[in-house]
Structure 1
Amino acid sequence: MTKSLRIGIIGASADRGWAKESHVFAVQKLAGLELAAVATSRQSTADAAAKAFGALAAYGKADDLIRDPDVDLVAVCIRVPNHRELVLSAIAAGKHVYCEWPLGRNIAEAEEMAAAADAAKVHAAIGLQTRMNPAAHRARDLITSGAIGRLLSARIYSGTGAFSPRVAAADSYLENAENGATLVTIHGGHALDLAGAVLGQIEDVTALTTTQYPEIQVGDDSTPQVRLIPDHLLMQAHLAGSGALSIEVAGGRPPEKTPFCLEVSGENGEVALDGGALRGFQSGRLRLWLNGELQSVDEGEVASMPDTATNVAGVYTALRDDILRGTSTVPDFHHAVRLTRLLEDVMSSARTGTRKLLADWPEQ
């Protein structure tokens, strides 16, 4: 492999989108990474993206980017229903992969991709980027070191502007649960993953889902539609050893109402994380508090990143080092399988009103 890890980003639009706000900036600014290629659905938009971002190559077809011998790692930053085909193609081509979360539409797709990555012996990272956040790492260290004593309870609130009564035409696919991208899988998944990263093992979960906005308007013409998916999620859980956890994930919150907070109470003090982003807390910076005092956190290489790129850059730095050193520190596709299975338990609990025991979540 060349000195720099050569990245090809599928779904990098010059005009808008998550790849532009996070992946492109991280790859451009981090040492040891090079933006080798971009791919979009048309050659004209790919050319525009390559010009805007300084990529060496542009492709109107994702498969052409995957076949490019000058690409070492493929970042899949498109809609969830298209993940499986492109991830499997990249793995078959011997490329390392960074795929956005959720990995697949269901557990079967996630397991298939994890098995393929194992067989090909490539590095495969899943976009559960907030567990790479420096403030989250420091919060975990404080808790495990006993800085607040025995953990008593924790509470998470996560608000997002998504899943509101008004739905853009481009986001209408999120209203179909079969596509695997809902409030529960996306925002609920990120919240549960951060809870596991900071607080440790979750032993069980009981969930309640509701639909706050049963009637929505879709597209520029405001076509009326019945919402068939939950846009609000409540969970409660027991933590291993001691402590209780409650989580609320709320869709349709306006910009001024979309903060995130994780509050952890111990016998001898409190740790808290907070932040906020319209897309969800996973796309923003977090601040750390200890007993009501804001803490300074060493952000290392990601310190110069804008808020939207901070957490994604953390995944890229760890993935870069894993590939160069032969280590495995980033959340991988097996991690994605476990979280997908946990979310299936969450939905089962919500349907049946029962408590679900968790056998293998999370891996620390």
Structure 2
Amino acid sequence: MPSSLSPTLASTPASASPAPVGVGIVGLSVNGGWAGTAHVPALAALPDAYELRALSASSAESARAAGEKFGVPLAFGSVEELVQRDEVDLVVVTVKVPHHRELVMSALAAGKTVLSEWPLGNGTAEAEEMATFAQSRKLRGFVGLQARSAPPVRYLRDLVADGYVGEVLSTSVVASGVTWGATYGSRNAYVFDRTNGATMLSVPFGHTIDGLASVLGEFTELSATTATRRPEVRHEETGELLPKNVEDQIAVSGVLESGAVASVHFRGGVARSTNFLWEINGTEGDLRVTGNSGHLQFGQVTLHGARGKNAELTELPVPARYDANVPAPAGLRGTMAHSVAHAYAQLRADLTEGTRTVPDFAHAVRRHRLLDRVQQAAATGERQRVSP
């Protein structure tokens, strides 16, 4: 059985600093995309922990171009070539959701540790298959649910745990999905077909609900209403109409493990008023989180709080200690790479110190199943119990 870490990293003496984890990114193109925007700068902020050694793209030509642009020494036109390289310890899958299963399974078959972007699979069955295969091979698989790694969300979790609001009574989220509005660009056309697995429910709702659960606990039961209020969307340049069969309105209410009541409403597109508002109301205080979109995984939010009788909300800046595990965070703050860098820092500890902080494939399956319960509740009109 191949080691899930390189021999150098796996055999580093406890007294020495572990060798950098060799990373190979699947889906890094010259146009950047999510891999270039978030993963490359996040890895660069952790130079002692990671080395970006390889990439694969849709063709050898595009791989060479991306390698030159990002300074990656090994560039391949197929994932099969990448996963066979001893220089690669961690395979990072950053392509569109319909391709996740094939690429993740190839990496696992080669004995590699895998980090896949969320959603893990195109539906729960694929996620379960990947999780089972990773477990059978005794390999670690991780999923990019990085909202819970973002400094503001970690600070929020600590505030709640330390009793800032007292007993949590309820929580409410109102959020905009951004992409699922009235118009679309060519790059995002595939998200309007539910068979591709990248819907407003699976992407921003999934990311945000995972962040919420990391702070307040999981749902134990829920009801849901969903709707497709815009059955067609217009291309932002050509005006071409595209049929849409995914929900652009998602309203979920339920009860969390603590007994707190929760409501979450996602709306497609961008609102003229509120694009992200998350309130946590307790017996002793209140917390408010605001931002410009419902994509909590970007970590671009501001916290306010108030405690005690007649207290007014004031901003709660995130203390510097929440950036301590990223040596070079200054250039990342306010960017989409900030949360990803913190997820990578936690992942490094998981790999070298035996911690279990970053969501793994089993966690991803649980999150997929929660989304199934939302869909079932909306389809049947019946309240759903949520299993652990």
TM-score between the two structures when normalised by the length of structure 2:
0.88
Match of residue 266, structure 1, among 238, 258, 282? 282
Identical counterparts, % of pairs: 35
Given that 1:77 and 1:99 are in contact with CA atoms closer than 8 Å, whether structure 2 keeps it comes out as: yes
* Structure 2: segments with no counterpart, 5+ residues: 1-5, 9-18, 307-312
Partner letter of residue 325 of structure 2? E
Alpha-carbon shift at residue 321 of structure 1 (Å): 1.2
Confirm or deny that 1:287 pairs with 2:308: no
Deviations 1:186-221 (A, max 9, x none): 111112111111111311111111123222234854
Partner letter of residue 353 of structure 2? R
Alpha-carbon shift at residue 293 of structure 1 (Å): 2.0
Partner letter of residue 349 of structure 1? A
Matches within 5 A, 1:95-110: 95-110=112-127
Q: 1:353 to 1:260 in 2, by over 3 A?
A: same
Alpha-carbon shift at residue 344 of structure 1 (Å): 0.6
- 2-side partners of 1:186 and 1:264: how far apart? 23
> Which portions of structure 1, spanning 4 or more consecutive aligned residues, are displaced by more than 6 angstroms?
none
User: Which position in structure 2 is the counterpart of 1:132?
Assistant: 149
User: Which position in structure 1 is the counterpart of 2:208?
Assistant: 191
- 2-side partners of 1:280 and 1:91: how far apart? 29
Partner letter of residue 293 of structure 1? T
- 2-side partners of 1:207 and 1:156: how far apart? 14
Alpha-carbon shift at residue 80 of structure 1 (Å): 0.5
User: Which position in structure 2 is the counterpart of 1:339?
Assistant: 367
Given that 1:73 and 1:95 are in contact with CA atoms closer than 8 Å, whether structure 2 keeps it comes out as: yes
Confirm or deny that 1:316 pairs with 2:333: no
- Secondary structure of the corresponding residue to residue 225 of structure 1: strand
Confirm or deny that 1:206 pairs with 2:223: yes
Partner letter of residue 31 of structure 2? D
What CA RMSD, in Å, does the superposition of the two structures yield over aligned residues? 1.8
Partner letter of residue 187 of structure 1? P
Partner letter of residue 40 of structure 2? V
User: Which position in structure 2 is the counterpart of 1:38?
Assistant: 55
- 1-side partners of 2:349 and 2:109: how far apart? 22
- Secondary structure of the corresponding residue to residue 83 of structure 2: helix
Given that 2:177 and 2:200 are in contact with CA atoms closer than 8 Å, whether structure 1 keeps it comes out as: no
Deviations 1:62-96 (A, max 9, x none): 22111222110000000111000100110111111
Match of residue 253, structure 2, among 232, 236, 248? 236
Given that 1:206 and 1:356 are in contact with CA atoms closer than 8 Å, whether structure 2 keeps it comes out as: yes
Given that 1:136 and 1:273 are in contact with CA atoms closer than 8 Å, whether structure 2 keeps it comes out as: no
Given that 1:98 and 1:125 are in contact with CA atoms closer than 8 Å, whether structure 2 keeps it comes out as: yes
Deviations 1:213-233 (A, max 9, x none): 222234854332332111121
Confirm or deny that 1:17 pairs with 2:41: no
Given that 1:216 and 1:224 are in contact with CA atoms closer than 8 Å, whether structure 2 keeps it comes out as: yes
Alpha-carbon shift at residue 170 of structure 1 (Å): 2.8
Deviations 1:285-344 (A, max 9, x none): 233222122223232234322421111112111111111123322100111100101101
TM-score between the two structures when normalised by the length of structure 1:
0.93
User: Which position in structure 2 is the counterpart of 1:325?
Assistant: 353
Match of residue 317, structure 2, among 296, 308, 312? 296
Given that 2:148 and 2:297 are in contact with CA atoms closer than 8 Å, whether structure 1 keeps it comes out as: no
- 2-side partners of 1:151 and 1:339: how far apart? 23
Partner letter of residue 173 of structure 2? I
User: Which position in structure 1 is the counterpart of 2:13?
Assistant: none
Q: 1:124 to 1:258 in 2, by over 3 A?
A: farther
Match of residue 387, structure 2, among 342, 359, 362? 359
Q: Which shows bigger deviation, 18-27 or 266-275?
A: 266-275
Q: 1:257 to 1:44 in 2, by over 3 A?
A: farther
Match of residue 162, structure 2, among 117, 136, 145? 145
Given that 1:203 and 1:357 are in contact with CA atoms closer than 8 Å, whether structure 2 keeps it comes out as: yes
User: Which position in structure 1 is the counterpart of 2:105?
Assistant: 88
Given that 2:217 and 2:258 are in contact with CA atoms closer than 8 Å, whether structure 1 keeps it comes out as: no
- Secondary structure of the corresponding residue to residue 301 of structure 1: coil
In the alignment of these two chains, the number of paired residues is 358
Given that 1:233 and 1:249 are in contact with CA atoms closer than 8 Å, whether structure 2 keeps it comes out as: yes
Q: Which has the larger radius of gyration?
A: 2
- 1-side partners of 2:37 and 2:336: how far apart? 6
- Secondary structure of the corresponding residue to residue 290 of structure 1: strand
Alpha-carbon shift at residue 153 of structure 1 (Å): 1.1
Confirm or deny that 1:75 pairs with 2:99: no
